[in-house]
Structure 1
Amino acid sequence: MLNVQLSSHREMLPAETADQKLFVMLKLRPTNEASAAKPSTTFVFLIDTSGSMYEVVAGDRKPTGKTLTMDGQKYSEVVGGKTKIDIVIESLLTLIRSSKLDENDKVAIVQFADEATILAGLTPATQISKLESAIKRLRDFSGGTVMGEGMRQTLDIFSNQQGMASRRTLIFTDGQTFDEKDCKELARTFAAQNIPITALGVGDYKEDLLIDLSDESGGRLFHVVGKNPAGTQVSIESLPKEIIEEFSRAQRDVITNLGLTVKTVKGVDLIRVLRAYPDQAEFSIGKAPHIIGNASANDETVFILEFNIASRQASRARIAQIGLTYDVPGQNRRGELQPQNLIVQFTSDQGGITQVDQEVMDYMQQCNIANIVGQATKIADKEPQKAQELLETAHRMTVRIGNKELMESLGNAQDELRKTQKISSGTRKTIKMGSKGKTVRMGGDINNELSDDQIREASGT
């Protein structure tokens, strides 16, 4: 059901050397049989309905000359055009009226402002009129932003679900929530139940919170802008297309509930677990098994495991065992990868330790770009020259890897920093969210690279 490849960035490490890093690539790809078994899909849309969602952001609009105050913010009144909530409603209606959903798909709608309300519990996607009524009710709410209560209501919805399914939550918000700490704590429950959070932010949201929610749960990130998107940005007018694609992505999660178990020997510690492709996430390391999300049909999913290794004598040694469990919801069955030994040669031969697996390093470098961007944005106001150097490093790495959208976003940020000695809020969101987003696939197709015997050996079948 699942083809697996393990590769270290080095097969040899220097002996008698303390505090060494070893990066191990865990590459997964569902078999053709698994890819053909479409899973049942459960998707909860958690929508911000606070007062700022009624801001006009698209279409032809004419100012009336009046000023309105809503939720403590002043807005210039206009007529015509589309508000954020209009476009969200249009996007959800487009999804449920499309041909992309069937009787195996279930949808729920939850709103949050000062309070949260379940507008539609888990509803078969074929009950279009019921879902339409719930979606149109999104206009009935306003107030502040309390996302945590909406996340609790979402978890309540999932708690009533029976059987295996691909599960996902999409959060759309345009403001800063009052209960950020609660949201972060709740994200750990989403992670434990393998419910990835796709977070879309537009306007004055706090990007670090959305990054935390996405990382913790193994989800995705989008920075949404009103018009003229550049690089990794997404136009709010393209929201219908993006929401359909997110639902389609959940439908392609034919392997779910990946549980990673790593048993290390004395002197070896697992310190990070990253998803490097098709987009990035950094998972918390708690009690095993570590829940690391899902694997999509007809594509690879790549993780990087980072180990810290204490000094060892020259020898060929097993430093860890790596195992996996997973669900195949389309076939209602569980699968397992028997523990695989991770072997490293510790040597005093300097020639051997210079050889590196470039594919592993390319994926690790893509994850490093996000860290470099985070450092640059953090110090930009006080140390613009140092931030410029960091962004140049991230840009060079991105050029070499070939991520064109991120190259454009980083180039724009460098130009802005050079001219103004600052990074604006919108640009900061763009590069921080974008550097955690879609990555570039490296190497070849695992299904073509491995022989039948190698696949059987790697998968334990």
Structure 2
Amino acid sequence: MADELTLTSTLNKAFVPVTSTQQLVYALIEVKPNEVVSQSRMSLNFGFVLDHSGSMRGAKIDRLKDAVSLALSKMAPDDLVSVTIFSDSAEVIAGGGPLADKRGNLNNRVQRIRAGGGTQMSRGLSLGLREVYRQFAAERVNQVLLLTDGQTYGDEAQCLRLAKEAGEHSIPIQALGLGDDWNEKLLDEIGRLSGGDSDLVESPDEIVPLFTQTVERSQRSVVRNAQMILRLVSGVVPRQVWQVTPHINNLGYTPIGEHDVQVPLGDLDAEEGKALLVELLLPPRQPGRYRIAQAEVMYDLPLQSIVGARTRSDVIISYTTDAVQAEQYNAGIMNLIEKVTAYKLQTRALAEAEMGNIQGATQKLRAAATRLLELGETDLAEAANLEAANLEQSGQMSSSGTKKLRYQTRKLTQKLPEL
């Protein structure tokens, strides 16, 4: 059995009561690289695709240039780097190649970027992806970092086609939206189709740390193509599978037989790994200790030339007639459940608002605000209550509030509680 990854399974309660009906339990499944693997770093084939349209004037373009310069300083000399800028046209100001050959010249070119023009994102994406395609190498992390602060005009379908092609070629796009005036649905879909992600940059001062974090996270993507098979005992029914670290995401699952389900994990961070929260319905049982599932994770380690390695962990629970035992809960996992619930409530509220169900959206936003307050997230709770008030008064949510709730509630679990 492979030992490059540590796979552990912990239930929200170790004991359930003996009953005649189904019961819901939550399994926290954590997968992390071992100490040796966690010290590894991947070489990069990294493309910056940067909006320099007129709306980027001032602090935005200044902080963007600072962010690129600092991100470059975090890279190794043999990392491959390209920089593409776009407005209503696009230009590759640095073609893909080793950073060692261009560091000084590249920084000078970045500092000469000026803001102006409209926004056509597909032009920049097309040129930027071409540079990464041209240098593609399986032993590197091949990735595009996209930043925009505005709506792209008339080329959304082309952007999505490019994102889909990037995903098919294993080139994820990390899409960052700066400020309030950008299309979050488009960036979310670009991230999803490419196998990447999307995020909110609330202010120009946040560009620098987010660029640095993206580069460092890419360097730590040492476990590739991970997927989990959850083998369930007869009678155990899966309901939902949530990623809880590095951020909250509804992963869903694919049935692969009568009792097995498959969950894609993608690349794993060398230090943090990933944690999943799996909702399971248990059948009635007599008192005793039972295995209810087995988690198996398959993965590749390019730096070690390992393909298709596997590791397993059993999920064990006890049925009891002792009422005191049955009332004992794992506080850390219950805290995670509360955070996922808050995320689900605001997600459903946004969906209700889009469908015109103002009353339903308002109720869910206020429920989310209550949960967030209980979690100590006062800023997000205030945002949820403010958007509920906006809905009641005008029938609409603000662009800034919508984005804040959509993206910040994803990050409620970024620091996993101690179990």
Shift of 1:322: 1.4
Which residue does 1:276 correspond to in 2? 244
Shift of 1:241: 3.3
Instruction: Check conservation: 2:7, 2:312, Cα contact below 8 A.
Output: no
1-structure distance, mates of 2:321, 2:123: 54
C-alpha spacing 1:181/1:23, structure 2 compared with 1 (3 Å):
farther
Amino acid corresponding to residue 436 of structure 1 in structure 2:
R
Instruction: Check conservation: 1:191, 1:216, Cα contact below 8 A.
Output: yes
C-alpha spacing 1:36/1:146, structure 2 compared with 1 (3 Å):
closer
SS of corresponding position for 2:31:
strand
Shift of 1:375: 2.4
Which residue does 2:55 correspond to in 1? 55
Which residue does 1:459 correspond to in 2? none
1-structure distance, mates of 2:268, 2:377: 22
1-structure distance, mates of 2:56, 2:164: 35
Structure 2 counterpart of 1:34, from 33, 37, 62: 37
C-alpha spacing 1:298/1:93, structure 2 compared with 1 (3 Å):
closer
Amino acid corresponding to residue 395 of structure 1 in structure 2:
A
C-alpha spacing 1:374/1:241, structure 2 compared with 1 (3 Å):
same
Instruction: Check conservation: 1:29, 1:301, Cα contact below 8 A.
Output: yes
Shift of 1:130: 5.6
Structure 1 counterpart of 2:13, from 10, 13, 33: 10
Matches within 5 A, 1:208-247: 208-214=185-191, 219-224=196-201, 234-247=202-215
Count of residue pairs the alignment pairs up = 405
2-structure distance, mates of 1:46, 1:89: 12
Provide the aligned C-alpha RMSD in A: 4.0
C-alpha spacing 1:153/1:428, structure 2 compared with 1 (3 Å):
same
Shift of 1:54: 0.8
C-alpha spacing 1:401/1:270, structure 2 compared with 1 (3 Å):
same
SS of corresponding position for 1:250:
helix
Which residue does 2:403 correspond to in 1? 429
Instruction: Check conservation: 1:260, 1:290, Cα contact below 8 A.
Output: yes
Matches within 5 A, 1:36-435: 36-48=39-51, 53-55=53-55, 58=58, 84=60, 87-96=63-72, 98=73, 100-111=74-85, 120-126=94-100, 127-129=102-104, 131-132=106-107, 135=110, 144-147=119-122, 150=125, 154=129, 157-158=132-133, 160-173=135-148, 174-176=150-152, 178=154, 180=156, 195-202=171-178, 203-214=180-191, 219-224=196-201, 234-283=202-251, 285-286=253-254, 290-299=263-272, 301-308=274-281, 311-314=283-286, 317-333=290-306, 336-345=309-318, 352-380=325-353, 386-403=360-377, 406-407=380-381, 409-410=383-384, 412-413=386-387, 422-435=396-409
Instruction: Check conservation: 2:57, 2:115, Cα contact below 8 A.
Output: no
Deviations for 1:297-328, whole angstroms, at most 9, x for unmatched residues? 4446322233455x455475444321113344
1-structure distance, mates of 2:19, 2:126: 49
Instruction: Check conservation: 2:49, 2:128, Cα contact below 8 A.
Output: no
Instruction: Check conservation: 1:220, 1:279, Cα contact below 8 A.
Output: no
Which residue does 1:227 correspond to in 2? none
Unaligned runs of 5+ in 1: 59-81, 225-233, 446-461
Unaligned runs of 5+ in 2: none
1-structure distance, mates of 2:290, 2:114: 63
Instruction: Check conservation: 1:148, 1:182, Cα contact below 8 A.
Output: no
C-alpha spacing 1:397/1:139, structure 2 compared with 1 (3 Å):
same
TM-score (normalizing by structure 1): 0.71
Greater shift, 104-113 or 129-138, is seen at 129-138
Shift of 1:37: 2.1
Instruction: Check conservation: 1:276, 1:364, Cα contact below 8 A.
Output: no
2-structure distance, mates of 1:316, 1:182: 55
TM-score (normalizing by structure 2): 0.77
Shift of 1:144: 5.0
Deviations for 1:265-294, whole angstroms, at most 9, x for unmatched residues? 444454543221232233353478643133
1-structure distance, mates of 2:401, 2:408: 10
2-structure distance, mates of 1:403, 1:336: 40
Shift of 1:204: 2.7
